[in-house]
């Protein structure tokens, strides 16, 4: 019988890159902090919900082994689709009932990629609210991009948050996102420690702690 190998746990923070038209970005970190990846890119002619979904898909596709993933996204569209839509869409051939007729699911190609990722990864989706100043603010970097800087190379680049060309507001936003991920990881570790302590007390009461070397 093959030995059970626990899945590694990752935190995936994904969102549209609101300072760049047609941009998306994600931050992927292992729960123990040993691995981290931050990537961004742009998708021609993509907007809104498609960018929200694409950021999630690219983050999941960056994982090289089956994992447990805590997904953190501002997108209610992604959360609702994962919770209520995906299974039904798959069973109906990627269509849904609209005004009494079956219509193709919007962004079907990305939902199908996400569905494939779910065959390998366990996902717990959580949402956060984006501050309106960050969501609507215009930056010098965004204007330069729109004026002809062009999209970043395919495959994604790391955000150089120390680059003076990046406006202060965006640097603050990046710091805020990283802080949110770190706090979430700390809360998870604290929860695990409390669970271990509770199990230890119970095992001691049952006289099993010494036998199990806990």
**Measuring CA to CA, how many Å separate 81 from each of 27, 43, 75?**
21, 21, 10
Taking residue 136's Cβ as centre, other Cβ atoms within 10 Å add up to: 9
Q: Give strand pairing partners of 27.
A: 13, 38
* Residues 6+ away with beta carbon under 8 Å from 179: none
Residue 210, pLDDT > 50, answer no
Give the pLDDT confidence of 23-65 residue by residue, as tens digits: 999 999 998 888 999 999 998 888 899 999 999 999 999 999 9
Give the pLDDT confidence of 157-176 residue by residue, as tens digits: 433 334 444 455 555 656 66
Domains and CATH numbers, the chain: 9-212 (3.30.420.10)
Mean of the per-residue pLDDT values for the chain?
75
Strand 9-16 to strand 68-73: parallel, antiparallel, or no bridges (unpaired)?
A: parallel
Tokens 């929860």 sit at which residue?
A: 191
Q: Where are the beta strands (DSSP E) in 20-145?
A: 23-30, 36-42, 68-73, 95-98, 101-104, 122-127
């Amino acid at each position: 019988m093959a030995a059970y190998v626990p899945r590694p746990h990752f935190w995936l923070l994904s969102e549209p890159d609101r300072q760049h038209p047609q941009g998306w970005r994600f931050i992927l970190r292992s729960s123990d902090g040993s691995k981290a990846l931050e990537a961004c890119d742009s998708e021609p002619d993509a907007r809104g919900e498609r960018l929200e979904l694409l950021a999630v898909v690219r983050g999941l596709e960056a994982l090289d082994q089956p994992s447990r993933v805590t997904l953190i996204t501002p997108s209610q569209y992604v959360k609702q689709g994962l919770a209520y839509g995906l299974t039904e869409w798959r069973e109906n051939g990627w269509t849904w009932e609209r005004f009494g007729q079956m219509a193709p699911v919007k962004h079907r190609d990305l939902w199908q990629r996400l569905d494939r990722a779910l065959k390998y990864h366990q996902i717990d989706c959580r949402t956060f609210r984006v501050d309106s100043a960050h969501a609507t603010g215009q930056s010098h970097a965004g204007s330069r991009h729109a004026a002809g800087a062009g999209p970043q190379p395919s495959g994604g680049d790391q955000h150089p948050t120390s680059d003076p060309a990046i406006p202060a507001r965006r640097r603050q936003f990046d710091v805020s996102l990283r802080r949110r991920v770190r706090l979430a990881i700390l809360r998870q570790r604290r929860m695990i420690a409390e669970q271990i302590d509770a199990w230890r007390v119970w095992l001691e009461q049952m006289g099993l702690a010494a036998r199990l070397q806990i």
